[in-house]
Amino acid sequence: MTTVRIPADWPGTEEQARAVQDALRARVVLDEPGPPPGTGRVTGVDVAYDDERDVVAAAAVVLDAASLDVVAEATAVGRISFPYVPGLLAFRELPTVLAALDALPCPPGLVVCDGYGRAHPRRFGLASHLGVLTSLPTIGVAKNPFTFAHDTPDTPRGSTAPLLDGREEVGRALRTRDAVKPVFVSVGHRTDLDNACAHTLALTPAHRLPETTRRADALCRRALREAAGA
């Protein structure tokens, strides 16, 4: 486990944070399909907080994409770098997530984030931001809808409904289990939406949420407990 320091140039206000998003948005790469599902490695990242003690813990868990076996994992802890503001989640999560990724002993391959990528008010959610800072292919898989309207996908696993910003499809509500509430998938960086959904299905053989985020969630909670928990 590594300890993180908040970067000296990290935004201190919502105004500054939005300016950073507007400046970095142009660097998102959208014309690559990304790695094929079921090959190479797939990494889940997640973060847990103890607002009382101002502690944050992040985890990165690398899975073999074919077997979904854990190949490597790393954690990082630090101070909370930003309050939770819808649309600015990246500024709260990224410093610690980046440190956890840096601590991995192997390349992460595709990174699966807990949240949104392009399906964001300024087209630059957590998954896109992480992708631009690392150059890694990323996707976002969120548990709840954000600001975009969508229809209800059909009942069977694999069914989708577009997340629409006007007439533009910025993500998809994707059913990963029959008749269970869908997850919300969007492109982060260097992937396309079809592939992002295919990856999400490949990572959900048994549960609504991807194995990557389930593993990362369990690990960062444990790291938080060991770092600050009572």
Residues near DNA (CB under 7 A): 46-50, 84, 86-90, 114-116, 120, 125-127, 140, 142-147, 217, 221, 224
Of 123 and 190, which CB lies nearer to DNA in the complex structure?
123
Sheet holding 183-189, edge to edge: 2-3, 70-79, 55-64, 41-50, 110-113, 138-142, 183-189, 168-174, 160-165
Residue with tokens 């699966």: 112
The DSSP secondary-structure symbol of 114 reads S
Closest separation between CB of residue 124 and DNA, Å? 8
The angle that helices 90-102 and 14-24 make with each other, rounded to 10 degrees, is 60
Smallest distance, DNA to C-beta of residue 204, A? 15
Q: Please, which residue, 26 or 230, has the CB nearer to DNA?
A: 230
Please choose, from the candidates 209, 193, 223, the residue with its C-alpha nearest in 3D space to the C-alpha of residue 59.
Answer: 223
Our CB check for DNA shows the closer of 38 and 84 to be 84
- Least distance to DNA, CB of residue 39, Å: 26
Cα–Cα distance between 219 and 225 in angstroms, integer?
10
- Closest CB to DNA among 169 and 217? 217
Cα gap 97→210, rounded to integer Å: 18
CB of 158 to DNA, least distance (A): 18
Longest Cα–Cα distance of the chain, Å, equals 49
Q: Is 22 annotated as a binding residue?
A: no
Binding residues for Mg(2+): 46, 114
